[in-house]
Amino acid sequence: MNIITPQRLYHGTTDQFVASFQQRLLNSQYWRPGRDFGEGFYTTISAAQARKWAVKTARSNFIGDARPCVLEIELLAMPPAIEPRIFLSDSIAWAEFILSHRMADVKGEDPCSAHPDIIIGPMADSDTGKILQEAIQLKKDITWFYDQITKSMRGRRLDSLHLGNQVVFSSEKWESFLRLVGYNINIGGRWVYHENASATEHV
């Protein structure tokens, strides 16, 4: 299968982790379970979406004065023999994939018999964590869960174009095919770009 992925991707984080990412973008020991597409390195094709992630991450950081930061990453090539999972739009199958991985909250445990190396698809909207707890407590079915995660906080139904996009690297085999081009740090409400001078092409 030939997959043409976006060449430029963005990852929202905080400035305190820049040095670590400069050394290595993919480090599975830091990947957390219980996320939409399971453990992995989450990116998006939207710089604006990555900024939202970065701001949210900085606000939830209780150690030091972390500033929102967006990594700009170039996908240089595709590794051989990858196992992808691509959701072209939101669907029941997409919701089932999210539900099963959201419920897998123990690191190293995964509901897939063989987890994909890369997953591309829409983001779930609203507060998925709270929706998941409600679904479990009230024994709701997948149709209810799907309906809830495709609504905005105000209850408006959103299509795939409005949900946002995520590209998740679930295997460290991608490391040599990715390059950190630069990063934007939010300083005083303004995003300031820094070129990653130490970046070198890996392939």
Give 24-64 pLDDT, tens digit per residue.
999 999 999 999 999 999 999 999 999 999 999 998 876 66
Q: Which residues contact 20 (CB under 8 A, 6 or more apart)?
A: 27
Q: How confident is the model at residue 126 (pLDDT cuts 50, 70, 90)?
A: low
Give the number of other CB atoms < 10 A from CB of residue 190.
8
* Separation between Cα atoms, residue 185 and residue 32, nearest integer Å: 23
Cβ atoms 83, 40 nearer than 8 A: no
Tokens of 121: 């698809």
**141-161 confidence digits (pLDDT tens):** 999 999 999 987 777 888 777
β-bridge partners, 140: none
